[in-house]
A and B are shown apart, each in its own frame.
Chain A
Amino acid sequence: MSTPKLKPQRHSRGKRPQFYSTPGLDDAMSMIIVLAQELSVLRDRVDAIERVSAKRGIDLAKEIESLELDQAALDARELQRQQLFERLYYVTRKEADELAQADSKQRYDQVIEETAQA
Chain B
Amino acid sequence: MLNTFQQAQHPLLPRSTHDEASRQEFAKSLKQFVQQGLLPGLQPVFAQRAAKAFEQQHGRAPQDRREIRKVMEPDLYFQHYAALNRIAQELMWNSVIDSVERELPALNESAKAWSAKTDAQLRIDADFVPPRYVTALDIHCMPGGYASELSPGDISVAALYDRGAYLYGMGFAGPLNDDMGRSVCNYVQRKLPGFKPRRILDMGCTVGHSTLPYKTLFPDAEVWGIDVGGPVVRYAHARAAALGVDVNFAQMNAEQTDFEDGYFDLIVSHILLHETSGKAMPRIVRECHRLLSPGGYVIHADLPPFDLMSPFTQFILDNETWYNNEPFWGAMREIDQIKLATDAGFPADSVAFATAPMAILESSAEGAAGYTGDSTAAVADREFTAGEFAPGGGWEVLVARKAVQA
Contacts and interface: CB of A to CB of B under 8 A. Distances in A.
Contacts of A21: 74
B19 A45 contact: yes
A30 B137 contact: no
Interface in B12-34: 18-19, 22-23, 25-27, 30
Interface in B305-324: 321-323
Interface in B125-161: 132-133, 135-138, 141-145, 148, 150-151, 154, 156-157, 160
B91 A34 contact: yes
Contacts of A3: 105
Interface residues of B, number: 57
Contacts of A114: 132, 136, 277
A64 B354 CA distance: 61
A41 B327 contact: no
Nearest to B100: A8
A19 B150 contact: no
B83 interface: yes
Contact of B79 (A16, A20, A107, A112): A20
A44 B18 contact: yes
27 contacts: A5-B104, A6-B104, A7-B150, A8-B157, A12-B137, A13-B145, A13-B325, A16-B86, A17-B86, A20-B79, A26-B83, A37-B30, A37-B91, A45-B18, A45-B19, A45-B22, A87-B94, A107-B136, A108-B137, A111-B327, A112-B328, A112-B330, A114-B136, A115-B276, A115-B279, A116-B327, A116-B328
Interface of B: 18-19, 22-23, 25-27, 30, 74, 79-80, 82-84, 86-88, 90-91, 93-94, 97, 100-101, 104-105, 132-133, 135-138, 141-145, 148, 150-151, 154, 156-157, 160, 276-279, 282, 321-323, 325, 327-328, 330-331
Interface of A: 3, 5-14, 16-17, 19-21, 26, 29-30, 33-34, 36-37, 40-41, 44-45, 48, 87, 90, 107-108, 111-112, 114-118
